[in-house]
Amino acid sequence: MTATLRARHVRRPPGPELGTLEILRLLRSRRPTDFLDRVATASPTLGHFRLGREHMYLLGTPELIRGLLLGHGRVTAKGRGLEQARRLLGQGLLTSEGGLHRRQRRLIQPAFHPDRIHTYAEPMRAAAVDLATAGRWRDGEVRDVAAEMADLTLRIVGRTLFATDLAADAGGVASALTTFLGHTQRVMIPGGPLLNRLPLPSTRRLAEAGAALDRVVYRLIAEHRAAGDRGDMLSMLLAARDEDGTAMPDRQVRDEVLTLMLAGHETTANALAWAWLLLDRHPEAARRLHAEVDALPAAPSYDDLDRLPRTHAVVAETMRLYPPAWVVGRRMLADVGLDGWTVPARSICVASQWVTHRDPRWWTEPLAYRPQRWLDAHGRYDETAPGQPRGAYFPFGMGRRLCIGESFAWTEVTLVLAILARDWAPALVPGHPVDVRPAITLRPAHGLRMTLHRRSGAS
C-alpha cells in the first residue's frame, strides 16, 4: 500500500475543513490567529486541519504541549514557518537542527551566562536613559512607539552582543525585517512557500532585503576581524574552534549574527510596544507601575530588578495577551501518540501561545489585563502566582529549544520599561487602528502612533 493510500485511512481528530474561499479569506485577513481560535473552539483538546498537503494538529492542553516540547523533542524538527525562515537566516541557532544546533548552542550559551547578562544590563540602562532624558522625545509629539522600541532594542543588541553602535543601520534593518516578516505569512497558506520562490516583484524585494542585511552583518564581521577580540559575542564566535582546530566558516558566523541581531531585538521590541498600549488602556495598572518606579532614587539598574515586581508583572501579563512568539510548530519525524490519536510522521504539531495564554480553562478572566495576577500574597513577582498549569504559559518556548536569550529579554524589557515609565506615559492617538500582524512574531499591524506625555516632575 502506498504512503498516499495509507494517509487516506489515518483516523484523525475533528477540525475545520479549509475550502478555497476560506483560504483566500485567511490570506486576505492576515490574521491566522483567528483561524487557530476557531480550531481550538471546535476541538479544545486536539484539532486537525489541512494546509494544502500538510496535515496540521493544534494542541489544546498544557499536558499535550509539554509532551510535544519536552517528551517528544527528539523526534521533532522545526515547523513550516522556520523551514522557510532558513531562506534568510540560513542555519543559525533559530533554524538549525540536530548536531549543528547542539554545537552552535554550546558555543553561544556562554554569551548568555548570568554574569554576562549582568554586564549587558548597563548598556541596556544607558540606552534607555538616553532615550528618556536626552531630548530625543519631546512632550506632546506623536511617534510610532512600535518603531521607537524597535530602534532602541536594535541599539541595545548592537552594544551588548556586538560591541557596535547600530543606530545608523536601524532604518535599513527595520525595513528589511518588515519585508521578511511579510513573506513568512505566506507559509500559512497552501502554495505559499512556492510563491516565495517564483520570480515575482515581492520575491525580488525579499532578496534585496536579505542582501541589505548581509551587508550589515559582513561589515560587522570584517570590523571585528580587523580590531581583534572585543570581548563580545561576535568575537567569541570568530575565535571558536572545532575539536580539529577549524574555525567557524564565515557563512555560519553570518547566520548566527543575523539570527541574534533580528531575533534579539524583534521580540523585545514587540513586548515593549504592546506594554505601552496596554498601560495606556488600563490607567490603574499604569498608576501602580509609576508608583513603583517613582519610589526608586534613580533610573533602575540590574541590582534593582528585585525591586520591580510590578514591572515584571506588567511584562508577564503583556506577553500573556500579546506573546511576541505566538505559535510554535514542530514537524514530527516519527509516528507519535497524542491524546489517543496517532499523529503520523511528517505531520506538523502546533502549540499556540496566543490560544493557550487566553484559554479560560487555565486563566481566570483570560481576556482581562490584570498584571496583579502575577504577584503573590507578599507583593512579589511569581510566575506561578496565577495558578496556571505548567505548559499554559510559554512565551519563550519550552524544552531543549527554549529561547537561549530568555534571561536577556526579561532583563531588557523590565529595565527599559521601568526607566522610560519614570519620565513618560505615551497615549494612543484617538482613532489610530490597533490590530495584530501575526508572522513569525506578533507585531502591531499598523504600528502604534502615540502622543508622548512627559510625566509631571520628570527630569
List domains and CATH numbers for the chain.
3-451 (1.10.630.10)
Supply the pLDDT for residue 407: 95
Which of 119, 151, 125, 404 has the alpha carbon at shortest distance from 260?
404
In this structure, the strands spanning 348-351 and 328-332 are antiparallel
- Cell (9 digits) for 390: 505548567
Contacts of 422 (CB under 8 A, 6+ apart): 132, 290, 293, 294, 296, 299, 455, 458
Supply the pLDDT for residue 4: 43
Helix (H) or strand (E) holding 55: strand 54-59
Q: Which residues pair with 77 in a beta bridge?
A: 331
**∠ Cα 247 250 256 (to 5°):** 100
Q: Which residues pair with 53 in a beta bridge?
A: none
Determine phi and psi for 101, rounding to 5 degrees.
-65, -45
Helix (H, G, I), strand (E, B) or coil at 101: helix
Supply the pLDDT for residue 177: 81
Q: Which residues does the chain have with pLDDT short of 50?
A: 1-7, 190
Whole-angstrom distance, CA of residue 309 vs CA of residue 123: 22
CA distances (Å), origin 440, targets 38, 39, 84, 290, 325: 20, 19, 11, 32, 7
pLDDT tens, residue by residue, 208-262: 888 988 999 999 999 998 988 888 889 888 888 877 788 888 899 999 988 888 8
Supply the pLDDT for residue 3: 47
Cβ count within 10 A of residue 428? 16
CA distances (Å), origin 307, targets 228, 301, 313, 380, 381: 39, 10, 12, 9, 10
CA distances (Å), origin 454, targets 132, 149, 311, 420, 421: 9, 17, 19, 10, 9
pLDDT tens, residue by residue, 131-146: 999 889 999 999 999 9
In this structure, the strands spanning 54-59 and 348-351 are parallel
Determine phi and psi for 120, rounding to 5 degrees.
-65, -25
